[in-house]
Structure 1
Amino acid sequence: MSQSPHNVTVEVETRYIDEQSDPEINRYVFAYTVTIRNLGKMPARLMTRHWVIMDANGKVQEVRGEGVVGEQPYLRPGEGFRYTSAAMIETPVGSMQGSYQMIADNGEQFLAPITPFSLALPHTLH
Structure 2
Amino acid sequence: MRGLKSSPQGLKQIKEARERRELAIEREEWLDEASNFLLPVKNGKNIVPATVSIGTWKRFLQGTPVKPQYFKAFCQVLQLDWEEVVETEEKSSTIYDWDGAPNIPIFSERSKELHTLKQWLTTINVAW
Instruction: Give TM-score, length-normalised by structure 2.
Output: 0.28
Higher relative contact order structure (alpha carbons within 8 Å, sequence separation ≥ 6): 2
Structure with greater proportional helix content: 2
Structure with greater proportional strand content: 1
